[in-house]
Amino acid sequence: MRATHLKPDIVRLYLKPLLIGELAPGEPSQERNKNSQLVEDFQELQRTLEAMNMFKANWVFLFLHLTQILILETLAWLMVWHFGNGWLVTIFISFLLVISQGQSSFLQHDTGHLSMFTKSKWNHLMQKFLLSHLKGLSTKWWNYQHFQHHVKPNIYPKDPDINVGPLFLVGDLQPVKYGKKKIKYIDYEKQHLYFYMVGIPLLIPVYFNMKSVQLMYFQRYWDDIAWVSSFYIRYFITLGPFYGIFGTMLLIYVVKFLESPWMTYVTQMSHIPMKMSTEENRNWFSTQVLATCNVEQSFFNDWFTEHLNFQIEHHLFPTMPRHNYHKVAPLVRSLCAKHGLPYVSKPMLEAFGDIVRALKKSAALWRDAYYETGNRSSALTHT
């Protein structure tokens, strides 16, 4: 609660009705399997970073990113208006819109974590503009999905981001579970191969849009429906006269199709290759560090991932503005070293490759469990 909200006083108001009672003086203040010294050190680190103003956003930084998005969107329309809808123009504006859409994804991620403005309501309003109006996705769906992931990263089955069956099986537990139960919706031995054909290109245009529409429709989120509708209305008004209704829809989904590999690699590289387990009731620091990894810093890596190459710092401090991650990384690394926790940081291409290697490993676990169960059943029948 403390990590994902801006105002501790408001958090306490929500927690107060849930108070059952106070612990007896001799009882521990936390679960017995948690490292009390690590918890205390992390709380001290949190106080230090607050004193250093690491949770204060640089408005110039965020304003420049928003300006970049709006300029790219406007430039794409002006090019079609001035040069027409020929193939070269269409290809060029598609790449402009891919960059704009990608940057909108990252900036809405900031506002979704309340790291842009000091008031939650302004962050929520900006998120609706960035995610719903500029990208056509539901903010309520994103928040519902994403905060479950942040609270229990790589905890099966509590983290929805790793509960991706029946299409993919990830980690060590889910593949064995499917194998022992003789579940074979798809040939999972080849999941590391069809990840390139299905997972990478279809994450945003198919999976994200389907989940977003499904939640809005069944939960009757009329405000989200209105905001998402404004995305399509804007495209039909600005590009419809040049491409028609069908052509405009095709352009929208071509852009989403091209954006999808970018988002898939950036969002999956930090979690899929890391430890996945059932609930172990670890402390916050250990839970986040063991389930995440970083990608080495460079100017390009920072821009391409919008500082999600500092995934460990982001998970530990979700409300921290991303331009401060590199400043706190040495302190986090030092705390990990003190308590013997791995602080994993790797080159970007290695991180991309680790996604596929992790899927291949999970596929092998499924195969071994699946065919071992079958061989054992055959041997018993024969006997």
293 located within any domain: yes
- Tell me how far apart the alpha carbons of residues 101 and 96 are, in angstroms, rounded to a whole number: 9
Helices (H), 278-347: 284-291, 299-305, 311-316, 325-338
5 located within any domain: no
pTM over 0.85: yes
H, E, C per residue of 46-115: HHHHHHCCCCCCCHHHHHHHHHHHHHHHHHHHHHHHHHCCCHHHHHHHHHHHHHHHHHHHHHHHHHHCCC
pLDDT at 375: 58
Domain that holds residue 358: 36-370
pLDDT at 258: 96
144 located within any domain: yes
| Number of domain units in the chain | 1
- Tell me how far apart the alpha carbons of residues 104 and 127 are, in angstroms, rounded to a whole number: 9
| CA nearest neighbour of 228 among 132, 140, 141, 134 | 132
Going by their DSSP bridges, the two strands 345-346 and 294-295 should be labelled as: parallel
Q: Write out the E strands in the chain.
A: 294-295, 345-346
pLDDT at 317: 97
pLDDT at 14: 87
pLDDT at 8: 82
6 located within any domain: no
383 located within any domain: no
104 located within any domain: yes
12 located within any domain: no
Tens digits of per-residue pLDDT, 306-353?
999 999 999 999 999 999 999 999 999 999 999 999 999 999 999 999
pLDDT at 379: 46
- Tell me how far apart the alpha carbons of residues 292 and 342 are, in angstroms, rounded to a whole number: 10
Each of the 383 residues of the chain gets a pLDDT tens digit; together they read: 888 888 888 888 888 899 998 888 877 766 767 788 999 999 999 999 999 999 999 989 989 999 999 999 999 999 999 999 999 999 999 999 999 999 999 999 999 999 999 999 999 999 999 999 999 999 999 999 999 999 999 999 999 999 887 889 999 999 999 999 999 988 899 999 999 998 899 999 999 999 999 999 999 999 999 999 999 999 999 999 999 999 999 999 999 999 999 999 999 999 999 999 999 888 999 999 999 999 999 999 999 999 999 999 999 999 999 999 999 999 999 999 999 999 999 999 999 999 999 999 999 999 999 998 555 555 445 54
18 located within any domain: no
pLDDT at 27: 78
Residue 315, CA atoms < 13 Å, CB-side half-sphere:
27
